[in-house]
């Protein structure tokens, strides 16, 4: 893929001098290219019978989750897939959610099955991860798929970690032999992206809430991945000059009084709250880090659009594998 850099977009992030600072890792531009590739593959599968089908299970009525699901289903249709959302009422018991997962597992018309996170209190996400058919697990969260990833033979790479590596590659960021630091050890981002970077021969440090000398460790990184869910946490003191900084955080701030102190100086954020009622910010103080970093991904427009594109890529791959397995079963005399 070609480098994903769109310098003129920096102006919308409060950067006035685009000649002195990082190169932008533009996920929106790259996601568009990936969706076009995915659509071509989906059309081939459609010609063989039916389009790849994604089913999303949504528990409750959290506004952010509603928006995420809507964007996923819309993008799926644009990429030549079919998509549906199964809605469970807020307060539904864990047994009902697990029964719905099992129904999706058994449905031959479903290629990819996704449960929208986060779940309501009282639900154990790992029970849900365990219940999803690993061949339909387009989020790559089933233990079998996690194990395959760590063994270097993934079936489905988790969507956000895959997006991070795609951004680095598209931006021409060297990975092999580089020092990488990952902020955050979640099962769906931190741990798998650390595994992917290790498989690409980076030397990886995985940091978390108990890490000592955090800023010092981060400042040693040539690649810094921020995925901790704390708006504007990463500042210039965390960044090595010339490092690639990938911001995974998606934090919505709707009250100007609750803007983190580090971000108070951002006119862009204050104006967004005043004009639109909220501002979407990452885990990185973009304006402060931009002059220090060599590459940087924005929020919005960085990892987010690519994550959705990777979900569609996994859905098409799940559909391809589904057809291959059915063909093998039909040819095997022991299954007749």
Q: What confidence tens digit (pLDDT) does each residue in 271-311 have? A: 888 888 888 889 999 999 999 999 999 999 999 999 999 99
**Is-catalytic flag, 72?**
yes
Residue 328's pLDDT band (boundaries 50, 70, 90)? confident
Tokens of 155: 């079936």
Helix and strand counts by DSSP (H, E) for the chain = 11, 11
**Is-catalytic flag, 139?**
yes
Q: For each of the domains in the chain, give its residue range(s) and CATH number, in order of start.
A: 52-136 (3.40.50.10860), 158-304 (3.40.50.720)
Tokens of 320: 């391809």
Residue 333 has what pLDDT? 58
**Is-catalytic flag, 116?**
yes
Write the pLDDT tens digit of every residue in 115-142: 999 999 999 999 999 999 999 999 999 9
Write the pLDDT tens digit of every residue in 16-67: 455 567 899 999 989 999 999 999 999 999 998 899 999 999 999 888 888 8
Catalytic residue among 26, 111, 116, 136: 116
Query: In sequence order, what DSSP letters do the residues of 65-116 get, joined into one string?
Result: HHHHHHHHHHHHHHTT-EEEEEEE-TT--HHHHHHHHHHHHH-TT-SEEEEP
The alpha-carbon radius of gyration of the chain (Å, integer) is 20
Mean pLDDT of 313-328: 91
Long-range CB contacts for residues 267-270, cutoff 8 Å, separation at least 24: 267/14, 268/12, 268/13, 268/14
Residue 4 has what pLDDT? 42
Name, in order, each residue with C-beta under 8 angstroms of 238's C-beta and a sequence gap of 6 or more.
214, 215, 218, 219, 224, 289
First-to-last alpha carbon distance for the chain, in angstroms, is: 45
Catalytic residue among 139, 247, 283, 285: 139
Mean pLDDT of 206-234: 96
Q: Which residue has the tokens 């990488």?
A: 180
Question: How buried is 301 (Cβ within 10 angstroms: 0-12 exposed, 13-18 middle, 19+ buried)?
Answer: buried
- Single out the residue of 259, 252, 255 nearest to residue 304, CA to CA: 252
Residue 108: count of CB within 10 angstroms of its CB: 8
φ, ψ at 67 (rounded to 5°): -65, -45
Residue 68's pLDDT band (boundaries 50, 70, 90)? confident
């Amino acid at each position: 893929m070609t480098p994903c850099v769109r310098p003129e977009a920096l102006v919308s992030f409060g950067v006035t001098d685009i000649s002195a600072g990082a190169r932008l890792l533009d996920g929106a531009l790259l996601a568009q290219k990936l969706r076009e590739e995915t659509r071509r593959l989906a059309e081939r599968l459609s010609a063989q019978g039916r389009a790849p089908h994604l089913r999303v299970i949504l528990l409750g009525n959290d506004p952010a989750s509603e928006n995420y699901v809507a964007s996923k289903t819309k993008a799926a249709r644009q990429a030549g897939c079919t998509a549906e959302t199964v809605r469970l009422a807020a307060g539904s018991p864990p047994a009902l959610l697990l029964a719905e997962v099992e129904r999706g597992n058994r449905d031959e018309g479903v290629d990819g099955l996704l449960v929208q996170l986060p779940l309501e209190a009282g639900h154990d996400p790992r029970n849900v991860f365990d219940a999803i058919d690993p061949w339909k697990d387009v989020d790559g969260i089933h233990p079998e798929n996690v194990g395959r990833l760590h063994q270097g033979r993934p079936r489905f790479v988790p969507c956000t970690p895959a997006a991070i590596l795609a951004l680095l590659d598209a931006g021409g960021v060297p990975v092999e032999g580089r020092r990488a630091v990952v902020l955050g050890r979640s099962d769906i981002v931190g741990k798998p992206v650390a595994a992917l970077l290790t498989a690409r021969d980076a030397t990886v440090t995985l940091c978390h809430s108990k890490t000592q000398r955090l800023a010092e460790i981060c400042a040693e990184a040539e690649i810094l991945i921020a995925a901790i869910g704390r708006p504007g946490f990463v500042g210039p003191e965390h960044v090595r000059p010339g490092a690639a900084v990938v911001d995974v955080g998606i934090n919505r701030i709707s009250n100007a009084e609750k803007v983190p102190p580090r971000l108070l100086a951002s006119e862009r954020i204050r104006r967004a709250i005043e004009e639109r009622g909220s501002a979407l910010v990452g885990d990185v103080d973009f304006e402060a880090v931009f002059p220090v970093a060599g590459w940087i991904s924005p929020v919005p427009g960085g990892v987010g659009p690519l994550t959705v594109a990777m979900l569609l890529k996994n859905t098409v791959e799940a559909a391809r594998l589904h057809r291959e397995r059915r063909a093998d079963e039909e040819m095997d005399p022991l299954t007749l």
